Amino acid sequence: MLAQARIALKGQPRMHLARAEIGPGATAGLPYAPGTFDLITCTNALHDLLDAQAALSGLRRLLAPGGQLVLEDFARREPPFPGAVFAWLLRRIERNRVHAYTLGEAQSLCERVGLQVAGGRAFTIDWFWHGWVVRAYRV
């Protein structure tokens, strides 16, 4: 991902890329001061986080007041899509422990860590992959 970003952002003078691991902790385990960012995006990664609520709480602290978090991921499929089939296919594709959230669950997680949810939208990618995006603010 970093190698692709380096190519895509080539020539941008203020680009800074860093490898970091999101985890629990005051600032989600990231080496930045609280209130550093006006915008944080997290795409297709929430399902990988062991403690998503703790990580989101840390990301909230990294936002400046009024700062925005845009969270996007694939959605856990719900009935009538068979849950066991979804879980089995996901295990085969991801090959490690993942937890896929629904749009509603993602919005609740944001609210639980004190973010104000400003919008959420579900979308369809294909017959198997559905996704959602949530926009939330630190008030």
H-state helical runs in 10-96 = 52-62, 83-94
In sequence order, what are the residues at sequence separation of 6 or more whose Cβ sits closer than 8 angstroms to the Cβ of residue 130? 74, 75, 77, 122, 123, 124
* 101: DSSP letter: B
In the bound complex, what is the minimum distance in angstroms from residue 21's beta carbon to ligand SAM?
Answer: 4
Among residues 21, 65, 80, 92, which is the contact residue for ligand SAM, using CB under 6 A?
Answer: 21
In the bound complex, what is the minimum distance in angstroms from residue 80's beta carbon to ligand SAM?
Answer: 26
Residue 48 binding ligand SAM, by CB under 6 A = yes
Residue 22 binding ligand SAM, by CB under 6 A = yes
Q: Which stretch binds ligand SAM (CB under 6 A): 39-47, 84-92, 96-104, 119-127?
A: 39-47
* Alpha carbon distances (Å) from 116 to 29, 58, 135: 22, 15, 9
Nearer to ligand SAM, 23 or 35 (CB): 23
In the bound complex, what is the minimum distance in angstroms from residue 113's beta carbon to ligand SAM?
Answer: 16
Q: 82 is written with which tokens?
A: 């068979």
Residue 44 binding ligand SAM, by CB under 6 A = yes
* Alpha carbon distances (Å) from 64 to 37, 39, 67, 82, 113: 6, 8, 5, 41, 15
Residue 43 binding ligand SAM, by CB under 6 A = yes
Residue 45 binding ligand SAM, by CB under 6 A = yes
Provide the binding-site residues for ligand SAM, judged by CB under 6 A.
1, 21-23, 43-45, 48-49
